Amino acid sequence: MDPSVDLLSQLWPQLIWPLIRLLCFISIGLMVANIIESLNWTTKIAAVSRPLIRLGHLSQRVGAAFSMAIVSGVAANTMLAEAHDKQLISKRELVLANLFNSLPTYFLHLPTIIVITLPLIKGAAFIYVGITFAAALFRTAAIVVISRFILPNPSEKTDVEIADQIKMNWSSVFQKAWRRFKKRMRKIAMFTVPIYIIIFVMNRYHFFSYLEEIVADHLSAIPWLSPQAMGIIVLHLAAELTAGLAAAGALLQEGVLSYREIVLALLVGNVLSSPLRAVRHQFPYYAGIFKPRLAMELIIYNQAFRIFSLIFAGFIYFALTNV
CA triple 185-190-193, angle to 5 deg: 105
Residue 157 has pLDDT above 70, yes or no: no
Residue 284 has pLDDT above 70, yes or no: yes
Give DSSP secondary structure letters for 9-34.
Answer: HHHIIIIIHHHHHHHHHHHHHHHHHH
Q: Is 306 exposed, middle or buried (0-12, 13-18, 19+ CB in 10 A)?
A: buried
Residue 166 has pLDDT above 50, yes or no: no
Q: What are the tens digits of pLDDT across the range 18-77?
A: 888 878 877 887 777 777 766 666 666 666 678 888 899 998 888 888 888 877 788 888
Instruction: Report pTM.
Output: 0.79
Q: Which of 65, 149, 61, 48 is nearest to 99 (CA)?
A: 65
Q: In whole angstroms, give the CA distance from residue 224 to residue 230.
A: 10
